[in-house]
Chains A and B, each alone.
Chain A
Amino acid sequence: MSDQRIVIVGAGPAGLRAAERLVDHGLRPILLDEAPRVGGRIYQQAPEGAGFRRNAKTLYGFEAGKAERLFATHARIRDSIEHRAGAVAFDIADDRLIALIDGERQEIGFDRLVLATGAMDRVMPLPGWTLPGVFTLGAAQIALKHQGCAIGHHVAFLGAGPLLYLAAYQYAKAGVTVAAVVSSASLSSIAGSLPGLAAQPTTTAKGFAYIAKLRSWGIPVIGGARPSRLLGRDTVETLEVLVDGRIRNIDCDAVALGYGLKSETQLAELCGAQFAYDRDQQQWVPEIDAYGRAIGRQGVYLAGDGAGIGGADAAELRGMLAAEAVLQDLGLPRRDEKADAVLKSLQRWRQFRRAMDYGFPFPGVFAKELPDETVLCRCENVTAGEVRSAADQGLREINRVKAATRLGMGRCQGRICGAAGAEVLAARLGVSVDSVGRLRTQPPIKPVPIAALAGADE
């Protein structure tokens, strides 16, 4: 039917729904993902064939049905796709994706590329956050879902957003002591988001149900807090926060930290997609049309949280739409008019998401108050004070600060420190955060053996 080579990166909700739609139109996409099994982070599965037994209800709670439907779709299409599991896509050269698969460098040519690369936790550092025992909120969930482990015995949850309550609920349900759930979002900002949240009443109700449960179990759920530091000798022992101007110490042996999510956009950037600063989400996102076509790069489509945060339900819709765009651009006849309905329901999710962004903002304002000695960049050990000195020496752009201080130059490529680094710089300069620019991505976007870097170019 078509000899077009379609490559999808990411086997989460967006990537799988894109694959499904393409398969249903007789195409055979190649699906790459770093994980051995499909589902992405949100529906991450336990390792296969290792004796893990928990069912979907235990693993995914309210979302079990969605996870099971997605896995059923995968089971239905698995023989019609080429699934390359454990594949680390680390570069793009023209129309070739370069990946490390089973330790070998492979180049995968594409005519159309669907990037469904997902997201990771967005972090605001605080003194002591490099202590062992401090993990991202996503990490806390992965430990539980993927490994049946908790990150500690007495876990404090710190950040903002719906995942904070969900993760704390999952931990408490698994029998772990939740020391406290501490949110930077104030009650008034959450209240202000309620009208928008009404666009998705079921999801909103679930969020409040988690909070109510946590409270009913006697777990302190604190809002409007300002975290000041994490203390501990060899590992984290205390979370110190300011609540209503008073210091409150929370004893814990682990902390799950996260202020919402941040799109994984490195591949989109390398292939030439345009970016714009999104004020609602407070982050740089690739520009796309209504279906997910990348602006600035023909033949590339972006779906799911990798193209701005929309959540797992929206990701499924965005995956379908990206595939729809591929089909349209290939000139293939469309079998149904579902796309219009999908666009409409996506609109409701956008409204909901805007309300979430308003209710649980990234606390960029904390950057200004971070003590100079606070480590921002975990890889290169760059402090807030070093970034401020760079600003004082006249550097006004984040990549120049990177060159001068090494912030974001380490192995994680600024994934962890990028957001906070820009906030610290902007606060020192007294400008808005978008005006300091964004950290540029350099291939390889993930560490790979030197032998894998050499290749066709040699």
Chain B
Amino acid sequence: MTRIAGLFRRVAERDRRRIAFTLDGEAAEAFEGDTLLTAILLIRDHIRIAEFTEAPRAGFCLMGACQDCWVADADGRPLRACTTTVTEGMSIVTRK
């Protein structure tokens, strides 16, 4: 099955304030209250590249248990995408 854009699809709660953030240096938009994981997967089909296999990963459990969705902020501080809320002006780096 061919995918249209991001992995996720918004099916409700569309009347929320828009937020601007930066994803790997590119301007991106999210909704207020989106987690980083949601914001990224609405645009892209993966969150990060796995250390050992170089294969894409998109998180797995969404409840802070599997640790498969870590990204970083512009200063290199690690953030768990599924438990971090996206905020205005945030700069996210998914690639080293």
Contact = CB atoms under 8 A, between A and B. Distances in A.
Interface of A: 34, 41, 46-47, 50-54, 58, 88, 120-121, 130, 132-136, 138-139, 142-144, 146-154, 174-176, 234-235, 237-238, 251-254, 264, 378-381, 410-412, 415-416, 446-447, 449
B52 A175 contact: no
Given A120-B65, A378-B60, A378-B66, A174 B11 contact: yes
B96 interface: no
Interface string B11-44: 1111111000000000000011111001000100
Contacts of B34: 147
26 contacts: A46-B13, A51-B16, A51-B31, A51-B33, A53-B13, A58-B12, A132-B47, A133-B7, A135-B58, A135-B60, A142-B62, A143-B62, A144-B12, A146-B62, A149-B9, A149-B10, A149-B42, A150-B9, A152-B7, A152-B9, A252-B1, A253-B3, A378-B66, A381-B52, A415-B65, A446-B64
Contact of A149 (B11, B50, B57, B59): B11
A379 B42 contact: no
Contact of B66 (A144, A237, A415, A449): A415
A263 B59 CA distance: 20
The interface residues of chain B, by DSSP majority, are classed as: loop
User: Which 8 pairs across A and B sit closest by C-beta, in order of nearness?
Assistant: A50-B33, A148-B13, A132-B58, A411-B67, A139-B62, A148-B12, A51-B16, A47-B33
A147 B38 contact: yes
B45 A136 contact: no
Nearest to A141: B62
A88 B67 CA distance: 14
A447 B66 CA distance: 11
Contacts of A410: 67
A425 B70 CA distance: 29
B7 A254 contact: yes
A50 B32 contact: yes
Contacts, number: 155
Contact of A121 (B3, B31, B55, B61): B61
The interface residues of chain A, by DSSP majority, are classed as: loop
A446 B17 CA distance: 32
Interface of B: 1, 3-4, 7-17, 31-35, 38, 42, 45-47, 50, 52-53, 55-68, 70, 78, 80, 83, 85
Given A120-B63, A135-B59, A152-B8, 12 more contacts: A50-B16, A53-B15, A54-B12, A130-B50, A132-B45, A144-B12, A147-B33, A147-B34, A148-B11, A149-B38, A238-B1, A411-B70
B14 to A, nearest CB: 8
Contacts of A151: 7-8
B8 A143 contact: yes
A135 B65 CA distance: 12
Contacts of B63: 41, 120, 138-139, 142
Given A47-B33, A51-B16, A51-B33, A150 B65 contact: no
